[in-house]
Amino acid sequence: MKSGFLQTMIFLLLHIICPAQNVEDAYRFINNFSVSQPACASDLTQANALGSCTLGASPGSFVIDNLDCQISRTVYHTNLNYGLMYANTEGTVSETYTIQMYIKNTNWGKTLSRIIDFSNGQLDEGIYFKNPGGSADRCLDFYPTGIVGECPYFKLDKYYLLTFTRNGQTDVMDVYVNDKLFVSYNDSGKRFIGKTGVPIYIFRDDDQISCESGEANFAYLLFTNYYSSQSAVSSVYRSICSTANINVSADFSIDPSLTCSNKNIKVAYTGVLPSSTGYSFQWDFDGATVISGSGKGPYVIHWNSEGGKKITLTVRNEVCGKEIVNTKVTHVSFMDLATVLDDKKCDGNATMTVNPVGGVSPFQYSIDSVNFQASNIFNVTAKDYKIFVKDYNGCINDTLVKVKLNGTIQLKTLADTTICFGQEIKLLTTTNVASYAWTPATGLDDATALEPMASPQQNTQYIITATDKNCKSTDTVTITVIPEIQVINTPDSEIPANKPFQLTSSSQQLAGIAGVSYSWAPPYGLNNPSISNPVATLNTSQLYSITLSTPQGCSGSGKVVLTVIPPPLITLPDIFTPDGDGKNEVLLPIASSIASLNYLRIYNRWGEIIYFSKQLNEGWDGKIKGIKSDSGVYVWKMEAITTGGETVTRNGTVLLVR
């Protein structure tokens, strides 16, 4: 019996993990009913309700609406007693499927309003919004079974992501509202399944009981041939704004996005398709040489000429030939630069003209990499300059220019440097003349000395001027003073055990200072004690100290206490004995730091649910419908909400012994 059970489980897992090629027919209603390329499905069709309903002037219209994510765009509004038909020609919706819709109800209609009809209008069976009476809100009704899930729940004029996903192996349909599991419905009677060639109707009623229709705005509608997990639904909901508005099937990246030198470029496909097979990728690289790559890439390419370049990707569905095309533009520049120096004067200044070679005009010029100007002429003194040129596309090139004045004066002082508050430094200087002076004198022990000691209280630029007859030469040194360091770090916190917690440390006084080192102590529980923001993972409380140091010897410190709170626990005993001796008679959850139980399900060997509960203080007495269950191993699954508001799921087995 164990061997047969194992073979059955392996069969089910293989069919869940390895399905046929996925199909995703997505509709975004941006002024049309067409399926998003390159899918093969037919357009959606407007359909009027059957029976004797009064029909309006039109089935519906495309209108502008604001989605929950603050995006204003075109959506489709279906009028009362009308809906949409999905042809289901290829049998995408069968026993295993997902139907997902991002909609806003604007009119509930009568007591019942149809959501989905699988019967081609022949049966009243279907999924409805239902008026429970006494409320303006609505419930979910699986007719003829009845209301399921929380009731009332759904409100008018509010967008919901509704997901109906059915597992053909278990005949269970999971219904999600946004990213939360709303209800799991046992459809063993196979009422809510599709068949190849039988249309699926959305918001259109049958003729059994007339006029059970509502009105809604549709922003997104998806039909697939696979079952969607909780994580998959949550992922769609987290990105519903981009999912509902953007078809990324032909998206790709260009690295770098702007090429400012004669280097190779990497192009990589970043789109999403339902399956890894069944599609062809055609690239047009605008005359580039392909170094490597095929199919969907990635590619390494190279252009031998400058200018704007277009990269075009065409993704083609090999089944039906539908295509989606995406074109992106990048720019290539091989810019260089040359300089001309006019240093004939003897007034301590010279004129430098910068001439770009290559690149795209107009150009901008800078001698500090920050302030750019349209003129290519700079007044300079005798020192080293780094000249920057930026072209129209944003490409920047630079070159080092050593400016020496015409004359005999040689002057060189200390390079720009950084000191700590309260320190002093000697301004080491060399010159071949005897007349010199420093400005400003603030912070210098002797402004007339060649190499004075400097101890400024704040950032200061010192200028030394050397004079020889009618010629002058100047040099500058900027002393950056690091103020007293005040460390801002993570406040004392309570954290969960064994869960990564982000520590932070910073100092406003060290902003822009290079080479700052960080030392957290002790290193216990830290992923890296030598960075500013390590991650701590602890199972016991810990006091950390943090020291920030600069290469100049400046330092500051702080402390943080992390108090570990016990982790939440939810599980079941490994064994229980409902044998009537009064001991261990009921299988109860073992819980700690648990606020509530979403569900406890116990399955028999065939995967059938034999016990279900949402109460922490209720347990299974080992009976099924009043009949004692056989001894043996049973599978269980639980989902609970911790006192911290997190959702946790657990599963396992329990041995029933009589």
* CA separation for the pair 9, 461 (Å, rounded): 77
Nearest to 123 by CA among 184, 45, 201, 214: 201
Q: Which residue ranges of the chain lie beneath pLDDT 50?
A: 1-19
Please report the pLDDT score of residue 13 as a whole number. 41
Please report the pLDDT score of residue 155 as a whole number. 96
Please report the pLDDT score of residue 454 as a whole number. 93
Please report the pLDDT score of residue 407 as a whole number. 58
Residues in the chain: 658
Please report the pLDDT score of residue 4 as a whole number. 41
CB 644 within 8 A of CB 619: no
Residue 606 is which amino acid? W
Please report the pLDDT score of residue 20 as a whole number. 60
Nearest to 181 by CA among 220, 225, 229: 229
* CA separation for the pair 459, 295 (Å, rounded): 57
Nearest to 218 by CA among 53, 98, 100, 137: 100
Number of H helices, E strands in the chain: 3, 54
Domains along the sequence of the chain with CATH: 22-245 (2.60.120.200), 252-332 (2.60.40), 336-402 (2.60.40.10), 411-482 (2.60.40.10), 488-565 (2.60.40.10), 569-656 (2.60.40)
Strand partners, 431: 411
Is the entire prediction scored with pTM above 0.75? no
Residue 105 is which amino acid? N
Please report the pLDDT score of residue 343 as a whole number. 67
